[in-house]
Amino acid sequence: MKDDTNKPYDLQRDAFSLMRDEPFYARIFARLDKVATTGIPTAGVRFNKEKLRFELVYNPIFFSKLTRPQRIDVLKHEGAHIFLDHCTSRQVAEEHHRMWNIATDLAINSYLENLPEGCCMPGVGPFEKYPPFKSADWYFNQLKQDGEPEQEQGEGDEGDGQGQGSSADSGGQGDQPSEGNTGSGSNKIEDYQFDSHDGWTTEDEISEAEREVARERLREVVRDAVEECDSGKGWGSVHSAMRADLRKAFKRQSINWRSVLRMFVQSSQPSKRRSSIRRLSKRYPWVHPGRRTDRVANIAISIDQSGSVSSQELQEFYNELEGLAKLASFTVIPFDDKVFEDGITEWKRGDTQQWRRWTCGGTNFDAPTQFVNENKEFDAHIIMTDMYAPKPKASRVPRMWVASAANARRPYFQPSAGERILPITLDS
């Protein structure tokens, strides 16, 4: 293998390698700002409070001394801090900051084989008794229980290469891992500290509002990456256990149909009143029966069956409707560029139905919109689709859209004011 350690470091070269071989990591790095600086010894990720964005901060001199496999693993290490939510998930007290740093490194490094020497590694040195492939929370709790190894022999909690300074550009805190911090056979914590964790969320560094903004942006980035990799583009070298954890952590919840029904009932459903002998009239309690108000929305569900909608999407649409059928009855209307009237069915509350493809043409959202508008018994209209067609005309009936998570975030058009797109996750 060619050794390129003497060449000036060019981050773009490794970015191309990630795009080719590591699609998941590549999608994470595409959404990061990159900042080159000699103010840190190695590399790190941080949340920029002014820009409200995550950044990769790296020392090009440090990277120039590594082999390509080492550089790629360092970048993957930093990317893992992002998608495992180490930067914003926990606001630790200052006295536990370094311990949390060590715990997050232990959680990541179990999965990497080509890191430079000097990294915190389960089963090595002061972490010999710690098993691999545990979460950062597990290692953190274990470190608090055991006490930080060799803490009494340390050089203090600041300035040891773990980003304990006030800024990532504050100027060279810590030892250079490339200059003697091998970690091999050592029991000193200082010899195992690796990347910078400046800009992470200690108790005094970030407000709760900023933290929530950071986490929401983080989740959007990772959800996109997970869904794109699951769609057939591949995961690269991401360990199967980590894939499972990511799918679980970033899986979108099923639609809350109870909330949807409540919204439709409150906003659009006229009251249906009927006599009730159980409730007496307050004005004439012995003369007239009371009246009870029932609110039951007559819902039309239009299901896009055009050629661009996959069988997997159709299956997931029907899976979601089973959840709705636990609460209400509704009418299912298949369509492509026209409504397929022979396929219109009544789905009774409590029933189950098998999905079926009735047609497979183009897409015209005006067709189901017009059909529902002309049928005055409908109070609400939900269109389940891939969102890939021109924007339809306005609807007389309150309208809502349901699409896969990826299509919901990048629709072909923006729905009219007051209309929502509800995302669902396709099972992998």
pLDDT at 121 over 70: yes
**Higher pLDDT pick, 264 / 349:** 349
pLDDT at 247: 78
Classify residue 2: in a domain, yes or no.
no
pLDDT at 48: 81
pLDDT at 149: 63
pLDDT at 174: 34
Q: Do 183 and 144 sit in the same domain of this protein?
A: yes
Domain span at 274: 257-424
Domain boundary among 225, 250, 275: 250
Strands 345-347 and 380-384: unpaired
Q: Do 237 and 282 sit in the same domain of this protein?
A: no
pTM as predicted: 0.54
pLDDT at 173: 34
- How far is residue 122 CA from its own chain's centroid? 27
Share of the chain above pLDDT 90, in %: 33
Q: How many CB atoms lie within 10 A of CB 271?
A: 10
Q: Do 267 and 209 sit in the same domain of this protein?
A: no
pLDDT at 387 over 90: yes
Q: Do 199 and 342 sit in the same domain of this protein?
A: no
pLDDT at 31: 83
Which pLDDT tens digit goes with each residue over 331-356? 999 999 999 999 999 999 989 888 88
Residue of 404, 400, 362, 370 whose CA lies nearest to 383? 400
Confidence of residue 259 (pLDDT cuts 50, 70, 90): confident
Classify residue 132: in a domain, yes or no.
yes
Task: Give DSSP secondary structure letters for 164-217.
Answer: -SS-TTS---S--TTTT---TT---GGGG--SB-TT--BTTTS-HHHHHHHHHH
**Higher pLDDT pick, 33 / 205:** 33
Task: Give DSSP secondary structure letters for 52-108.
Answer: TEEEEEE-HHHHHTS-HHHHHHHHHHHHHHHHTTTTTS--B-GGGHHHHHHHHHHHH
Domain of residue 358, CATH code: 3.40.50
How many domains does the structure of the chain reveal?
A: 2
Domain boundary among 215, 250, 285: 250
pLDDT at 399 over 80: yes
Residue whose tokens read 């990456």:
225
pLDDT at 164: 30
Q: How many residues does the chain have?
A: 428
Domain boundary among 193, 220, 250: 250
